[in-house]
Structure 1
Amino acid sequence: MPNPSHIPELPARLLADPEMITACRDRDFSKIFTLVRRAGLYPYLIAQRTGLTPSRVGEVISKKRKLRDMQVIERVSDGLRVPGHMLGLARRPWEAPAAGSPAAKPEAVVPASSLHTVQPVSAIPGTDLDSILTAATGPRLSPSTLRALHSSIEDYWRRDDEHGGEVLRPAVVGQLRYVVDLIKEASEGAYRDSLFGIAAELARLTGWIYFDARQYSQARTYFAESLQLAKAINDRPFMANVLACMSLQATYEDKLADAVALSTAAQDTAREHGATPRVMSMLSMREAFAHASMSSHGARLAAHASLAEAHRQFERISPEDPDPAWVTYFDEPKLIVDTGIAHGRLGEAQVAEPLIADALQREDARNQRGRAFHAFWLATTQLQRGNVDQACSTATLSLETASSVGSERVMGHLRDFQSQLAPYSQQPEAVAFRTRLRAALQ
């Protein structure tokens, strides 16, 4: 594949064409590949630039196949020189601003000290929402403004649970940039502190969306930014929440020592501020996940100790506790299913299976990604117990649910499940699941 730095850019007129903008927003690669012909990029050149085979390019154009894999989408962005924000991606490495322009500074996480002096957050990628957001002139901050912003974050999280966050990313990043602009307009006081808190929540949500898409480098950037925004107002519990997210990501990246260290730091940070039992329970569960992914005897003991602490803290929860909004999701079904998953990670399938099955029956049906994720773990524990038919049936349920949610993380788990089926690859149930998974990934 050619070096992106040596690839000519598409004509500005083509990139500004409403058809192209809509096709990129919808990730309609059939339309995109058709439109770039105007720039002389015919299928064989598209294939050469993007690392796809000519036959696959032809199948995309004829709508026989779709492109969903984020790495492939990034290759298309780089190979065709479609700006990242048009496809809902972060700014691509080749999108260097003109030398000497204000945006020419390297992308980096902004130190908390600079936030106090109201510098723009240069790490935030561009988005086509800019034209909409800049139409707001002279925003007047009020309690209703803050309530509206918090309400939008709640709605983003709900839609993320139901549909996945990939399609939300441009809107969330756009709102983050908007709130940072509001911070520049706000005077010192409660409104300004509240805006820092809202910006921290939006940065964490953006990090979570990238994490769920398994784009870990971008996720780390936004999690770090969220930490700095929360540190600017000394919101220690929220900093602990972000550290817990980073611990979970480190677990996925198999950086298990880092995962344990981050979860421990999260608990220490929260404890310093007198965090509620629900917060401490959630953080202890994250530590349990990290230990449970290790193989040593000491890690197994530590995982059981963290699980016991999570349950002990949960039993201390009172309706009068001033729980922050971001931890209210950690209810009894979530405690149960996470306990089951931790036992599953430890290979204790006999304990794990009934816990996960019970939680699946009780959890909110609207949380599509969560249900797909938990069904995968139920299938894994059933397979560990030798129930191949039942495991494949449950994994198929997970796949059907995941198909309606844009979550590369869940699809990655299902690919792992297919690998676990290798000893049973000739059994009809395993063959049927493999066929369904292949069709879903096309």
Structure 2
Amino acid sequence: MDRRVFLTTMGAAMSAPAHERLLAEPVAHLTRTGKSRRVNVSTVDELDLMNASLRRLDDGGGGDALLLMVRAHLRQVVALIGKGSYNDLVGRRLFSNAGELSRLAGWLAFDAGQHARAQRFWLAALRAAHTAGDRALAANTLGFMSCQAKDIRQPHEAVTLAETARRGYLGASPRVSAILALRAAEAHATNGSTTQCRRAIDDAFAHLDSPTTTAPDWSYWLNPGHAHGQAGFCYLKLGDHSAARRHFRQALRLQDPNASREGALRHTLLATTYVRQADPDLDQALALAGQAVEVLADDVSSNRCIGHLDTLLRDLTPHNRRPAVRHLADQVQSLRATPSTVG
């Protein structure tokens, strides 16, 4: 990774204690008066609906076009914050809107492999969430930053960010608590902390089994299928390939038909379990990897998924003489030749 990006991300991770204070400090009164345009509750309701639509468009595969849409909508919300007049309730909702759009923009940039840009969006999301007094959103954003640290091989920072998020959230929604527990589980797995990882996975499923209560709309994506997918990733990192396979297969059975990008990721990681086991099953691995490639070649943009395919190919290096392995390498190269151009 580019040294400048590494240092930028490292700086954010090392400032996690500051993020913890950010989550805990009180926020100021947000009423804004004047002769400017009046922003009322109905306007913010419409903004919430637009945000929900953008989030669900991402389920199919994201990409640069969606990021452009998110950024355009974010500019509109920021304009309302800076030029409108509103009461305290509306002001807080406006800042939450801006924070969630920044969080989503960061996710899209991260999925395209643009780590420095993703981090800038996420830091903006943290500031907006803090201003709004939205601890759930701030904690969720720290969870995404933990995911980034994990992916760029900063396991200690990933744990710090994930646990900071859990400590900073008051636990009003079991689904949000489950999301944060799974982020922590992934960080602990990457750090090789088996006991803490298993405990966090158990916590996540326990929260999902809790009675349904009000939850932020942005948390809709976490369902049992997605939770099994994340648990599978954790067990793969821990080297428990049998447990990882059970979770990945359950995730694929429960998967939303529209979640094609996640399906590609799960097929790739499931394939990896067959390559890394003591007696590799190359036929199973290559068949699963082929399914992932097929999805990614069909209008799904995710450099992150291609990165996991690259990892799989590295695991397959001892078997490079097999025609099927060379064919997979050619397919992945074709995917890599048309990267996302997220701006």
Q: Give your verdict on TM over 0.5.
A: yes
Runs of 4+ in 1 over 4 A off after TM superposition: 112-118
Do the aligned partners of 1:343 and 1:351 also contact (CA within 8 Å) in 2?
Answer: yes
The 8 Å contact of residues 115 and 232 in structure 1, kept in 2 or not, is answered as no
Q: Matched residue of 1:163: which SS?
A: coil
Q: Decide whether the 8 Å contact of 2:146 with 2:157 is kept in 1.
A: yes
Q: SS of the counterpart of 1:430?
A: helix
1:432 aligns with 2:322: no
Match of 1:302 in 2: 196
User: For the residues of structure 2 that align with 1:418 and 1:186, how far apart are their CA atoms?
Assistant: 55
Matched, 1:281 2:153: no
Range that drifts further, 162-171 or 140-149: 140-149
Q: For residue 13 of structure 1, what is the aligned residue in structure 2?
A: none
The equivalent residue for 2:99 is 200
In structure 2, distance between residues paired with 1:139 and 1:424: 65
What SS does the corresponding residue of 1:186 show, helix, strand or coil?
coil
Return the alpha-carbon distance in structure 2 between the equivalents of residues 257 and 197 of structure 1: 29
Closer, same or farther: CA 274–419 of 1 in aligned 2, 3 Å:
closer
Q: How much has 1:139 moved relative to structure 2?
A: 5.5
Displacement after TM superposition at 1:140 (Å): 5.2
Q: 1:187 — aligned with what?
A: 86
Q: Distance in 2 between matches of 1:188 and 1:146?
A: 12
Q: Percent identity?
A: 29
Aligned residue pair count: 306
Distance 2:239 2:217 in 1: 33
Q: Output the TM-score relative to the length of structure 2.
A: 0.84
| CA distance 1:166–1:290, shift in 2 (3 Å) | same
Quote the offset at 1:395 in angstroms: 0.7
1:359-378 matches, cutoff 5 A: 359-378=251-270
Tell me by how many angstroms 1:432 deviates. Answer: 2.0
* Contact 2:171–2:177 (8 Å) recurs in 1: no
Gaps of 5+ in 2: 3-25, 338-343
Q: Does 1:177 align with 2:177?
A: no
Is 2:62 the counterpart of 1:164? yes
Cα gap change, 1:115 to 1:370, in 2 (>3 Å) = farther
How high is the TM-score relative to the length of structure 1?
A: 0.66
**Quick check: 2:267–2:292 contact (8 Å CA) kept in 1?**
yes
Aligned partners of 1:279 and 1:113: how far apart in 2?
22
Q: Distance in 1 between matches of 2:114 and 2:137?
A: 23
Distance apart, 1:405 and its partner CA: 1.1
Give me the whole-angstrom Cα distance separating, in 1, the residues matched to 2:146 and 2:155. 9
Change in Cα spacing, 1:401 to 1:415, as seen in structure 2 (3 Å) is same
CA distance in 2, matches of 1:142, 1:186: 9
Structure with the bigger RCO (C-alpha within 8 Å, sep 6+) is 2
Q: CA deviation at 1:188?
A: 3.1
Instruction: Letter of the 1:303 partner, please give it.
Output: C
Q: 1: distance between equivalents of 2:37 and 2:249?
A: 49
Alignment of 1:113-262 (within 5 A): 141-184=39-82, 185-262=84-161
Q: Does the 8 A contact of 1:159 with 1:165 survive in 2? A: no
Q: 2:126·2:138 contact (CA, 8 Å) conserved in 1?
A: yes
Secondary structure of the 1:426 match is coil
Query: Equivalent residue for 1:101?
Result: none
SS of the residue aligned with 2:93? helix
Compute the displacement of 1:117 (Å).
10
